[in-house]
């Protein structure tokens, strides 16, 4: 009889860990930035190589507890900053030999199951979804933005086909009461005309709210831009995404800066065109069957990476224009 391996769902698994380590090659030493420190999975693995240094970033102050443990074990080789990764420029690392920058855009089991965050549709009470350094919560979004704004958030950030109906029912329901997490789940479920038994009916709406509350679109775009600025020639940017919207942004950014175009603001336009990034794999790397069996949430993960070819700090990119409509939706938050 073959034994069935039941994964420990309470354990945090750094997704595609072996693949990322293979790509960033910490065995040769250097400084690496873990932009989404979380539980410290990538950081610990990198620091196991003796000639490495890691700078860990995370907007979630709760991750500082894990960071302290690593600081004690790897003295003088690890630095933690409680900032958003869009603030990479604030680190003033132009003279640091940055060899690799990692973004893991997923959420840990601890964060998902924290009842105070309200990230899960199994949560109870007040809507929250704040991951740290936020100006508003999901409660304010659901109870104050108008119907058309909610519809756009659900449609573009959650790719929810029934966004219009759900937004309308939310606005109607909130006329008589403030909407809590449980009530939002009920509204979504009752609004759905087509049932999808593969995923929970509230999955896409909760995804869209999380993206909106944490401004994940602009965070990712500015994170990519600033990471590319501070990375040194030959360094690697590796990004693990978990939904199509994130993957589309990363794919476009890497592709646009790897095509033949003048990327430095200081190179005359009549000079030879230069690529800033080099892409090795056009298709994303996905988890193995073994990893998915051990860690089912990894099944939607996609890893893309690019290598910086030149030491330019200033370069032109049209990514903000490309995703302008998504930034405009994020700006609905100015009303809150």
Q: From residue 258, how far is each of 208, 209, 263, 276 by CA, in Å?
A: 30, 32, 10, 6
Same domain as 297, residue 173: no
254, two tokens: 């890497």
Q: What is the mean pLDDT of residues 167-191?
A: 95
Model pLDDT, residue 273: 65
CA distance 235 to 228: 9
Side-chain-side CA neighbours of 134 within 13 Å: the count stands at 23
Model pLDDT, residue 263: 64
In a domain, 123, yes or no: no
CA distance 87 to 100: 17
Q: From residue 289, how far is each of 86, 160, 169, 286, 300 by CA, in Å?
A: 33, 28, 40, 9, 12
Of the candidate ranges 20-29, 61-70, 109-118, 148-157, the one whose mean pLDDT is the lowest:
109-118
Same domain as 264, residue 277: yes
In a domain, 124, yes or no: no
In a domain, 240, yes or no: yes
Domain CATH for 61: 3.40.50.150
Same domain as 256, residue 195: no
Number of independent structural domains in the chain: 2
Percent of the chain with pLDDT over 90: 76
Query: How would residue 12 be classed by pLDDT, with cut points 50, 70 and 90?
Result: low
Same domain as 261, residue 140: no
Residue span of the structural domain in which 268 resides: 17-110+216-311
In a domain, 35, yes or no: yes
User: Which strands make up the sheet holding 30-34, listed edge to edge?
Assistant: 78-81, 52-57, 30-34, 98-104, 236-241, 302-308, 277-278
pLDDT at 270 over 60: no
pLDDT at 80 over 90: yes
Query: How would residue 7 be classed by pLDDT, with cut points 50, 70 and 90?
Result: very low
Model pLDDT, residue 121: 62
In a domain, 38, yes or no: yes
What is the SS3 assignment for 15?
Answer: coil
Model pLDDT, residue 6: 31
Model pLDDT, residue 8: 39
Same domain as 99, residue 239: yes
Same domain as 282, residue 197: no
Same domain as 234, residue 153: no
Same domain as 207, residue 233: no
Same domain as 25, residue 155: no
Same domain as 24, residue 154: no
Model pLDDT, residue 313: 84
Same domain as 254, residue 272: yes
Model pLDDT, residue 272: 59
Q: Are the beta carbons of 332 and 149 closer than 8 angstroms?
A: yes
Q: What is the mean pLDDT of residues 258-266?
A: 68
Model pLDDT, residue 200: 83
Model pLDDT, residue 107: 75
Domain CATH for 196: 1.10.150.170
Domain's final residue, options 213, 231, 258: 213
Same domain as 100, residue 229: yes
Mean pLDDT of the chain: 89
Model pLDDT, residue 196: 72
């Amino acid at each position: 009889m073959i034994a069935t391996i039941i994964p420990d769902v309470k354990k945090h698994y750094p997704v595609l860990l072996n693949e990322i380590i293979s790509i960033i090659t910490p065995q040769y030493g250097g400084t690496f930035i873990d932009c989404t420190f979380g539980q410290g999975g990538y950081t610990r693995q990198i620091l196991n190589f003796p000639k490495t240094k890691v700078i860990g970033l995370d907007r979630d102050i709760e991750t500082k507890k894990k960071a302290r443990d690593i600081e004690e074990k790897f003295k003088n080789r690890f630095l933690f900053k409680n900032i958003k990764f869009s603030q990479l420029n604030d680190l003033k690392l132009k003279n640091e030999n940055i060899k690799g920058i990692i973004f893991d855009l997923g959420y840990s089991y601890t964060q998902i199951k924290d009842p105070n965050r309200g990230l899960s549709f199994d949560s109870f009470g007040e809507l929250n979804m704040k991951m740290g350094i936020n100006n508003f919560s999901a409660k304010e979004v659901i109870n104050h933005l108008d119907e058309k704004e909610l519809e756009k958030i659900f449609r573009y950030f959650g790719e929810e086909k029934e966004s219009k109906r759900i937004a309308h029912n939310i606005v109607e329901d909130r006329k008589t009461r403030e909407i809590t997490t449980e009530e939002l789940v009920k509204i979504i479920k009752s609004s759905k005309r087509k049932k999808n038994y593969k995923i929970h009916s509230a999955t896409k709406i909760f995804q869209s709210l999380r993206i909106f509350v944490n401004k994940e679109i602009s965070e990712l775009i500015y994170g990519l831009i600033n990471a590319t600025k501070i990375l040194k020639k030959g360094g690697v940017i590796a990004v693990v995404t978990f939904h199509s919207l994130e993957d589309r942004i990363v794919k476009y950014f890497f592709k646009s800066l790897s095509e033949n175009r003048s990327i430095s603001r200081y190179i005359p336009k009549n000079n030879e065109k230069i690529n800033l990034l080099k892409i090795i794999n056009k298709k994303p790397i996905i988890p193995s069957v073994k990893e998915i069996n051990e860690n089912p949430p990894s099944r939607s993960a996609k890893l893309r990476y690019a290598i910086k070819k030149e030491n330019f700090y200033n370069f032109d990119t049209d990514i903000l224009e490309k995703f302008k409509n998504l930034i405009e939706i994020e700006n609905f938050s100015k009303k809150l």
